[in-house]
Amino acid sequence: MSELKTQMEKRRTYAIISHPDAGKTTLTEKLLLYGGAIRLAGSVKSRKAQKHAVSDWMEIEKQRGISVTSSVLQFDYDGYRVNILDTPGHQDFSEDTYRTLMAADSAVMLIDVAKGVEAQTKKLFHVCRQRGIPVFTFINKLDRFGKNPFDLMEEIENVLGIRAYPMNWPVGIDGHYAGVYNRKLAQIELFEEDNAHGSAIRASKVGGVEDPAFREILGADVHQALCEDIELLDMAGDAFDMEKVLAGELTPMFFGSAMTNFGVRPFLEEFLRLAPQPVPRVADVGKIDPASEMFSAFIFKIQANMNPAHRDRLAFMRICSGKFTRGMEVYHKRTGKMVKLAQPQQFMAQERTIVEEAYPGDIIGLFDPGVFGIGDTLCEAGQDFSFQDFPVFPPEQFAKVQAKDSMKRKQFVKGMTELTQEGAVQVFRQPDSGIEAFIIGVVGSLQFEVLEYRLKNEYGVNIIMDRLPYSVARWLVGEKDSIKAMKGMDSGMIVEDIKDRPVALIGNEWSLNWICERNPDIQFFEVPAE
């Protein structure tokens, strides 16, 4: 077998998706703990002690206790090279999450045992389904009282429309769980009391269901309940079918608690065994096989100022095929030029290491002097294709932004330009207004806060932000004069996006319908028309 194929088979690249507060960042941290990438896990909740999750690097994330950008983390475990894409759970940052899912081969869906399937989980699950990404489910927070496991299975099936196959089953009654039962091995794993508050790997002991010692430890009631649950699962549940998992029709389901390290290792080991290795990617010339010797990749994320001391800008690249070597020159499809891939880095949160070589499935951070854009395709000289376009989301909230101090104009424009290139906000300008102000559009209002915070802390610019009374944006296609003389725009605004395409900002859907009727010669699009 070729070196490329051997290396490719070791790769597992996945995103963790969930509703806010389901424990996603905590789970990410615990996977790093078990992978040996960190020695001690600091609880994400212990803000006062300043122990922040390793994947939350932006200051505002540490203060608020939420993830607002996607982190890229790597570690080795049991012969696998693991690339975790930790995504923001908050719906205001769903664009960043959707883009990150473009770079993943599978997803881990985290569900709070007490809350079940929540709104944002539903949205993200449907994106995975559209993209054909296999989804693995981790029912979290078993250290607390929650829903009955059978009820959760039913909820996943009814709300998400996917069958669930429990790979393990909680041992205990009514939220008092002592361990998990591994269905494949027909083994119970009981976890010892956790005195380290989840900061260290948790000890456990393993044995058979019929082992008298385990029956005694569990007590007659718990042991009897477990035997009945196992029998019911075996009789009435679905059979495990890997083809259905890969087709997105069946989700392997695991139970545990990321906070107390309960069931984390069994999940990690089984997930890595089952999760797909790098899969072919769709391009305009057909599917690109990851085992091809021809190098190809795409940019799915750009992040400025990850290191405040260096004010650097990184483009995150997903390798799709072939072997990457440091300093290699590749064809940049959008500009039609050859570019050198300089200072390639891999991440353990903020810890960076220079990469000499990498393979399909790996995520690399590239130093970006302003060349790259989200969705850019990179490939070997002589090749000429583009990977499929990234989804674009119409903004729903708008504000006019300008620098408080006109002397800071240069820094303001630089900050706005760079944050737009990151995809943090969408930026529009009023043509011929003559004012150095931007109209910004966001999906959720928390993005306004992050914009203001980052302009102040990363670019030294205080801003004046005036919210605008619009909730609908439509890209316009028609004659220039017709667009200029559009009827019904007294309470709306015509702006241009960064590619100088005209966009109408309108108060609500009712007004939009009214304007559409009065301007039959103009077409209105939710996303830019190519």
Q: Which tokens sit at 103?
A: 């770079």
Q: Which tokens sit at 358?
A: 């990498």
The CATH number fitting domain 397-525, selected from 3.40.50.720, 1.10.1530.10, 3.30.70.3280, 3.10.110.10: 3.30.70.3280
Reply yes or no on whether the pLDDT at 49 is more than 80. no
DSSP-derived 3-state class of residue 173? strand
Reply yes or no on whether the pLDDT at 529 is more than 50. yes
Phi, psi of 44, rounded to the nearest 5 degrees: -65, -30
Which residues, other chains included, contact 423 with Cβ-Cβ below 8 Å and sequence gap of 6+?
A: 95, 96, 99, 301, 302, 374
pLDDT of residue 500: 86
* Domain ranges, ordered by start, for the chain: 12-71+105-274, 281-379, 397-525
Cα dist. 427→126, 315, 396 in Å? 28, 20, 13
Reply yes or no on whether the pLDDT at 311 is more than 50. yes
Domains 12-71+105-274 and 397-525 share a fold: no
Most distant CA pair in the chain, distance: 85
Q: Which of 419, 394, 338 is nearest to 371 (CA)?
A: 338
Q: Which of 17, 6, 27, 31 is nearest to 82 (CA)?
A: 31
Domain 12-71+105-274 homologous superfamily, CATH: P-loop containing nucleotide triphosphate hydrolases (3.40.50.300)
**Predicted TM-score (pTM) of this structure:** 0.76
Reply yes or no on whether the pLDDT at 507 is more than 80. yes
Q: Which of 28, 22, 20, 250 is nearest to 135 (CA)?
A: 250
Which pLDDT band, with edges at 50, 70 and 90, does 262 fall under?
confident
Residue found under tokens 């029912």:
139
Task: Report the number of secondary-structure helices (H) and strands (E) in the chain.
Answer: 14, 31
- Separation between Cα atoms, residue 144 and residue 166, nearest integer Å: 19
Fold held by 281-379: Rossmann fold (3.40.50)
Reply yes or no on whether the pLDDT at 68 is more than 60. no
**Inter-helix orientation angle 94-101/119-131, to 10°:** 30
Q: Which of 295, 427, 316 is nearest to 372 (CA)?
A: 316
Q: Which tokens sit at 116?
A: 């079940």
Reply yes or no on whether the pLDDT at 288 is more than 90. yes
Q: Which helix (H) or strand (E) segment is 338 a member of?
A: strand 337-340
Mean pLDDT of 351-358: 84
Residue found under tokens 């260290």:
200
Could you read off the pLDDT of 175-231 as tens digits, one per residue? Answer: 678 788 889 888 888 776 665 555 556 566 676 677 676 666 777 788 888 888 888
